[in-house]
A and B are shown apart, each in its own frame.
Chain A
Amino acid sequence: SQQGEEDPQALSIQEGENATMNCSYKTSINNLQWYRQNSGRGLVHLILIRSNEREKHSGRLRVTLDTSKKSSSLLITASRAADTASYFCATDITGTASKLTFGTGTRLQVTL
């Protein structure tokens, strides 16, 4: 079963704009990771945020985590056409022997 639900399911923006996607989950987690999947390719790890962290940055990526609301957000600033992909959150659920459970994904389209 899917632990995480991403919102929105699809997002279309123009190059240079910021893109924000959200992930909600149901149970207690050790950490939450974000992955990117380009069309027809495998997934690529973007960033990990631990349950005791509230915000993390990596280049143009900013991730927040609110464990009280069981939600996370991924912000991509100054988007580029190459950012066009599907983005998934994955949770390491407490007590599940370090197994990642992926969400349903957000499909991001960045147009020129």
Chain B
Amino acid sequence: EAGVAQSPRYKIIEKRQSVAFWCNPISGHATLYWYQQILGQGPKLLIQFQNNGVVDDSQLPKDRFSAERLKGVDSTLKIQPAKLEDSAVYLCASSLRSEGDDEQFFGPGTRLTVL
């Protein structure tokens, strides 16, 4: 079974530039998550989709971050414009359902450095 795919693996940009990350979840998984993990901290949920609908985006900085999951499969996360504090690893995860006892499967992450 193929895992969660993310690209790019690394990205370096200057502040005020825009950047986009892509995620392909495990086939058949209804729920997709984007997390932000700052160095030395645990992952923080940014947005949760079930199929192509948003379940939770309460911690997404909506003035600069946006995400979409077209057709309920792949997803993109965009930051525009980026700030220095956005430097982090962005993790995508998926699960079969959207229940709290579901195992989440994580991709390798995209490491973003904002200069």
Contact = CB atoms under 8 A, between A and B. Distances in A.
Interface string A27-50: 000110100000011111100101
Query: What are the nearest 8 A-B pairs in CB distance?
Result: A92-B100, A42-B106, A102-B42, A98-B100, A45-B103, A43-B106, A102-B43, A42-B108
A47 B100 CA distance: 13
Interface of B: 4, 35, 40-45, 48, 55-56, 91, 93, 98-109
A64 interface: no
A25 to B, nearest CB: 12
Given A40-B108, A90-B42, 18 more contacts: A2-B41, A2-B44, A4-B42, A30-B100, A30-B101, A31-B101, A41-B109, A42-B109, A45-B104, A88-B42, A96-B56, A98-B55, A98-B100, A100-B45, A102-B44, A103-B42, A104-B42, A105-B41
Choose among A30, A43, A50, A96 the residue with the greatest number of B CB atoms under 10 Å from its CB: A43
A105 B103 contact: no
A17 to B, nearest CB: 25
A43 B56 contact: no
A82 interface: no
A97 interface: yes
Interface residues of A, number: 26
A99 interface: yes
A99 B56 contact: yes
Contacts of A33: 103
Contact of A50 (B44, B101, B105, B108): B101
Given A42-B4, A43-B91, A45-B105, A99 B100 contact: yes
B61 to A, nearest CB: 15
A98 to B, nearest CB: 4
Nearest to B103: A45
Contacts of B103: 33, 45, 48
A101 interface: yes
B67 to A, nearest CB: 15
A88 B45 CA distance: 14
